[in-house]
Each structure stands twice: as C-alpha cells, then as structure tokens.
Chain A
Amino acid sequence: MPLALEVKNVVKTFQSDSGEIRAVDDVSFAVEAGEFVALVGPSGSGKTTMLSILAALLTPTDGQVLIDGTDLARMSETERVVLRRQKIGFTFQSNNLIPYLTARENVELMIRLNNKFDRAAKVRSAELLSRLGLGERLNNLPAQMSGGQQQRVAIARALIHAPTVVLADEPTASLDTERAFQVVQTFAALIHENNRAGIMVTHDLRMCQYVDRVLQMRDGKLVKVYDTREEILALAKGE
C-alpha cells in the first residue's frame, strides 16, 4: 500500500507566560491509503494539535508532514488553502455544516470549491448521501436533521472530492452511543472502500474497534501504537 501521509519527527511548541510548551514532541508515524487510524489520548496530550498540523491549519515548529509526498511545512498559506480543498477531507466535533445549505449542497460545496461541479458530481453527491442513509434528507437544512444525520453529511462532504487524507476531530462527541457507533462504523467502511487514509481523533476508546491502528499520545509524545486486532479490541473494551 502506498503511503498517503507521513509524519516525521514533528514538533510543535507554543509560548506561554510560564515558558515554552511542547504540544507535540517528536512524533513520527505514517498512514497508508485505505487505512483508518485513531489518535487517542487524554486532554492536553497533543492529539488536537497534531490533527491541526495534519489539516494544514497549523505549521509544525520542526519536522515534516508529507501528504502524497508533499511537505506541508514548506508550503505558503495559499498553497495550504489549495491543499486543504483538494487533498484533505475534514469533519469537526460540531458546527460542521453550513446552516443555510441543504445536505446535498453542503456535500456539493466541496466539489464547487474545487471548481469541478457538474451534473455527474451532483449525482455522485446524492448517491453518497443515500449510501449514508440520507436519501430522504437531501434537501433538508442542517437544522432539520439530527446530530447523527448532520455528522453523516459531514462525512459525505469529507469524502466526496476524493481526498488523500480524511481527518475527523471527535466526530462522535455530540452523539449518543448508538448513533456514535453507527457514524464511526460508516466512516470506517467508506475509508476502506474508497481507499483513503483516515485519521480520527477521539477520546472515546470504544470507537477504536472500527479502526486499523490506534496511536496513543501523552504529553505531546506518541507513547504507544496498537496495531493488532486483539490489542485494539482490548483497548476498545477498556481491558
């Protein structure tokens, strides 16, 4: 499998009143196309900062982040904006969708941003939403949908433009348990089917049962990698 994402010795420091904070401290890992990875850890472990770096929203203080072989750290702001719309798909904890666009329009927005909107793209969006069980909700505004449905629209939006990397920041944070499992399961299935590299930040270890690998962070460092099915399931069950 080709490497979609490579993180090499990434460091991110912030200045605070009490001195320098190393939010990410010499982290390295790689994700292949078609692999779904969870980034877990307690609050303040640096996982959200890591995700922001992967999303090209934050530049690392040191190290390299390669998406399809291109180093994000060397890119200008304009290049990073283009990279975000072409090669990255993103779902957030909440406030995910544009409230005045329907489910279908929210998904199509990604294609419009890439200037590739046409009839075929319109059909593709509808099909993807139907696949996610939202066939009846295509023309609903976010306010007319439940939290789970909104998250599924966000997943469709993150995948519709065939990005290299799909990032999810706590996608289940605002969902009840049943819906949370449904959402992550669907997300994982689509990552595998579409051969994308998926990275999900979560504090809910139960969600890890659907991923291929778990990266555990603490105090900015990558402290453990769970890469066997047994280890992952044990972690998900809290053993």
Chain B
Amino acid sequence: MSHTFTLDGKTIPFEDGQTIIQAASKAGVFIPHLCYHPEFKPHGSCKLCTVKVNGRQTASCTMRASAGMVVENNTEELNAERRALTQMLFVEGNHFCPSCETSGNCQLQATAYHLGMMSPHYDHFFPSRPVDASHPEVLLDFNRCILCSLCVRASRDVDGKNVFALSGRGIKTHLIVNARSGNLADTNFTLKDKAAQVCPVGVILVKRNGFAVPIGERRYDNVPIGDSLETATEGR
C-alpha cells in the first residue's frame, strides 16, 4: 500500500514513524499548534493540532500517519474548537498584548489571529503570578505561560539541565524553576540554553532587549502564521 493519506482531500506522502503534523508540515500544510515543536518529542497537551482521523478527533502531533487515513484539518468545526481552546488560554493567564514585548512575535497571538478570535469570550481569571527577575540576563513573566512545556523539554532533553518543570495538577498546573529558592538565578540557566530560545509566548524574555523590532516589522506583522511554513525554525 502506498505511503500516503489524505488531508482535507489532498494526498500527503509520509515516511514510517512520521506523525500527521510532521508529514503535513513537510507537504506545506499548516495545522495550528502551540505545544508542538519539530525539534522535540511531542507533548500532546495544547490540543490545538487536533484533527479528525477517519471521523475521530485526535492530536496530530502524537498520531502516527498511516496509509489511507482520511484526515480533516481546516474545517469550520475544528477551527471553532481550536478558537475556544485559544480563548481559554487567554483568560486563564494574564495576556495583555499591548504591554508585552513578545507581541507581534507571539505564537499564541498569531494563532488567535489565524483563528479569527475577536474576543476572549470567557470570564477572565486574572490570576496572581509574580514575575521572576532574579536572573541577570533573563526575566520570567509567568503571567503569559500557556504550559506548552517547550522550555521543560528543551532544558531536560537538549541542555541536560532540567531547569524548568510543570508542577501541580489540573487548573493549578504551573511552571516552576528547579531550585531550592525557586529563583532562576539559583540555577545554571544561561542565555545560550536551548530553553532560552523556545518559548512561544512572552514568558522567557531576554533583559534589555525588549521592543527592539518596531511594529510593522515583527515576525507576524506581515506574514500570518501558517502562510509560510516555518515550523523548522520555530522559536526566537
């Protein structure tokens, strides 16, 4: 049997072991996602990349492609659910784009634009999440964390440092720093770490570097997310 499946009617080739999103990216088809990153093991938690495989919903970052699959991706139903998930992420944290230096370069914001999110819809939680400014080079603004765990995976799997972790359960899940004090300054984290480059939102910020790129020239100002398939170079 040939190594292809169909994605919204288009024939997509794949190699053994590839997930649906990997094969789709390679074929130039965008599937919205936040916690997926091509360089890391999938986490399967944000659920934005949910597609329908033979009529059943599944995360395309964890589901391996197999021959003859019929996959739906860019449908009104799936995009409405993705939009609702995105709205929940916005109200669960404190996402004030006008005062965020990642605005314009933010994958969450760009994805919300892509999905046509005109409002947060739900009631805001306005959680209290103090920032960690202890590190000389990097500021951690937990207000914007979407729990994608990319920094956790990068620090653990690439840097070999285990600087970050997700702690707590359910709605109480939150990002922590693995130090007795809980402060980033008391870890061996550096700017050169892979974990410093992968945050899709505005949590891990390089100090003295904010708003360097003017409005109009930022990453998603001119090219919407998904229009140029740049998944291979994601991160900043």
> Do they bind each other?
no
